[in-house]
Amino acid sequence: MSTKQHLRFIDLFAGMGGFRLGFEQACAKTGYTAQCVFTSEIKSHAITVYQDNFPNSELHGDITQIHAQDIPDFDVLLAGFPCQAFSCAGKRYGFADTRGTLFFEIERILQEKKPAAFILENVEGLVGHDKKPNSNAKLGRTLSIILEKLQQLGYQVTWQVLDAQHFGLAQSRKRIFIVGHLKQAIDLKNFSRENQCLNDILQQGQACMDNKLSRLLLENYSLAELYGKSVKDKRGGNNNIHSWELGLKGKISTEQKRLLNLILLYRRNKKWAEQKGIQWMDGMPLTLAEIKTFYQHPELYTMLQDLVAKNYLKFEHPKDVVLVQENGKSKQVRMPRTDIEKGYNIVAGKLSYEISKILDPNGIAPTLVATDLDRVVVPDTMSNGLRTLTLIEQCRLFGFPDDFKLNIKPTLAHDLFGNTVPVKVVTAVATLLIRSAFADKITQQNPKPLRTKSFSTVNNTHYLNSPTSAFQYLGPP
């Protein structure tokens, strides 16, 4: 019987260990033993979780303070480098943010150590980050720089945006994976498709929440009617439940509810911006005279003032676009135009209540970030109520095993989950890398065939050829 082959890897920006877990699973599938020879992480609660689950690991701190020559030799570099600088949930400063510059630590280590391969992961927003204004370029400047740097190191580089929902996770979580190998480009489109819905992972029969909002929701709707609903004062058709429909900020009349729904609809009309001489925004404050053009009532002014007092409406100047300097770059922001008459506007956005969204158990979860996991709830059909996700359910949503140890506060666990890599996607990408680029080392006893059914929803792999060539984009426009 053949001896298993051995792959050494390093785990940078390790978080709670999702990258390592996925890579080790891929090694096990392909006949390898995996050895993590170096781990770097600075977040204290991430270190606690990592060491609880990988007890023999020695974690090193700030990667910027570690010399490359002090890192043991390795075959594969893994790095889900900090994504807040490129994320829609962050401010998207990119390389202007110190977290964005951490990519260059990866470049430094690759240059010094020259491992055979690497797998990098980041948010989908990296693809178009820092595009030139009015540019038709496929990539933003940030990703172009990253790919160019990797290519200059001698790697054959490919990248692809992959969605966790196609890999057997009940969550839409799109991430860019960048894979490099010194000798060959890795085709990142040959994955078999696996689907799962929330019902497949939920632990029914759990204790449910009992607060004002949950009681109001269940008094006004059946459990099934709440599937997929969001609680927010924005447009969204039948998918949104507005605060005034539940009287969350105070009881109001049926006519006031009708008025709010009309303001929510009519405030988007572009004619208001033209009349005020400002750039259009999706939600313009409307004056009393403007509201009278679509709603008439003898007590209109009194109704509006009551809605302002109860914080369903705000009385504000319209905002126009101005250029400001931030971190050395020009940025467009909205600022109040105090020379224009004030108007009434919806107090919009996610409400600061215990529930922001009720997930549909027959579907999948949207991309979940740390702040969502406190206020996204699921219907518990056995307990006939609403509740937050259990830690085991959260593990399942991101591809971690049920027995994964999380001996930290739930809010800290939410922070880690909100920033983690989807484990099953790592397993699939790493399996493809190992079978493609390390095939000569794999034991030939009962080799597993590579399944080649491509996702219909995934673009073709994006290839970068020789270190001196221009980028070649092979995907659709």
Which are the catalytic amino acids? 83
DSSP letter string, 284-319: --B-HHHHTTT---TTHHHHHHHHHHTTSEEEE--E
Q: CA 212 → CA 16, 230, 357, distances in Å? A: 35, 16, 15
Q: With H, G, I as helix, E, B as strand and everything else as coil, classify residue 322.
A: strand
Instruction: Quote the tokens at residue 15.
Output: 């978080």
Judge contact between 138 and 190, C-beta under 8 A.
no
Q: What's the rounded Cα separation, in Å, for the pair 196 and 166?
A: 8
Q: What's the rounded Cα separation, in Å, for the pair 301 and 476?
A: 54
β-strand partners of 324: 331
**Cβ-Cβ contacts under 8 Å for 199 (sequence gap 6 or more):** 361, 362
* Dihedral (CA of 265, 266, 270, 273) sign: negative
Residue in the structure block whose two tokens are 């109520």: 385
Judge contact between 356 and 231, C-beta under 8 A.
yes
Burial of residue 30 (CB within 10 Å: 0-12, 13-18, 19+) is buried
Instruction: Quote the tokens at residue 470.
Output: 């221009």
Q: CA 249 → CA 39, 238, 461, distances in Å? A: 49, 21, 50
DSSP letter string, 151-212: HHTT-EEEEEEEEGGGBT-SB--EEEEEEEESS-PPP------B---GGGT---S-----SH
Q: With H, G, I as helix, E, B as strand and everything else as coil, classify residue 358.
A: strand
Instruction: Quote the tokens at residue 223.
Output: 């459990």
Q: What's the rounded Cα separation, in Å, for the pair 159 and 433?
A: 12
Judge contact between 231 and 357, C-beta under 8 A.
yes
Residue in the structure block whose two tokens are 């390795």: 74
Q: With H, G, I as helix, E, B as strand and everything else as coil, classify residue 245.
A: helix
Q: What's the rounded Cα separation, in Å, for the pair 276 and 267?
A: 13
